[in-house]
Amino acid sequence: MQEPMAITLQVASEPALPFGHGVGHDAQAAFPPELEWQERALCAQTDPEAFFPEKGGSTREAKRVCLSCDVRVECLDYALGNDERFGIWGGLSERERRRVKKRAV
């Protein structure tokens, strides 16, 4: 098995995506200290497409990964705090995150 290729992501004016959300699962990325939790995210070891299913597609696989992830709370906090509108974050879909935000108001 080949060792993963190291990649450093630097994107101006846009927040970093959690590891595995838009970053190839075979890549490593350098994150600012407040986003280091992303390096421990289980989604980094799975197919990122599972976290962004087609409309009407199943979210079951992504949510199953999230259930056993040690950084699920940090991921959900990130998504809520950055108004992420697409994909599964912290084990919740877009619709589920909207409900959480409404209850918090």
pLDDT digits (tens, 9 = 90+) for 85-96: 999 999 999 999
Task: Determine the distance from the C-alpha atom of residue 64 to the mean position of all C-alpha atoms in its chain, rounded to a whole number.
Answer: 13
- Top pLDDT among 44 and 26 is at 44
Residue 41 pLDDT exceeds 90: yes
Overall pTM > 0.85: no
Residue 4 pLDDT exceeds 50: no
Closest of 76, 74, 80, 46 to residue 60, by C-alpha: 46
Residue 31 pLDDT exceeds 90: no
**Average pLDDT taken over every residue of the chain:** 78
Both tokens of 25, joined, read 């699962």
